[in-house]
Amino acid sequence: MSAIFADGAARLAGQVPRLLGWRPQDFWDATPAELAAILTSFEPAGAEPLSRSELDHLLEQDRHG
């Protein structure tokens, strides 16, 4: 497992329980496809995905609290 993947998985493991009400084991038992299908349902119909610049802006805001 790469460090980048592990870091991303750890962040998701912390966020998914808050967002979906899952227990940690529910997250680790889910496949990436199942998680993607559930999280995709939160997007409004016709919503455009974030651009790279929008994502970078959000990440920068998160870094500074």
Using an 8 Å Cβ cutoff, are 16 and 28 in contact? no
* Average predicted confidence (pLDDT) for the chain: 79
Q: Which two tokens stand for residue 38?
A: 């559930």
What confidence tens digit (pLDDT) does each residue in 20-40 have? 888 888 888 988 888 888 877
Q: Determine the pLDDT at residue 49.
A: 75
Residue 62: the pLDDT is: 78
Radius of gyration of the chain (CA): 14
Q: Please state the φ and ψ torsions of residue 46, each to the nearest 5 degrees.
A: 80, 5
The CA distance from 12 to 52, in Å, is 19
For the chain, what percent of residues have pLDDT higher than 90?
2
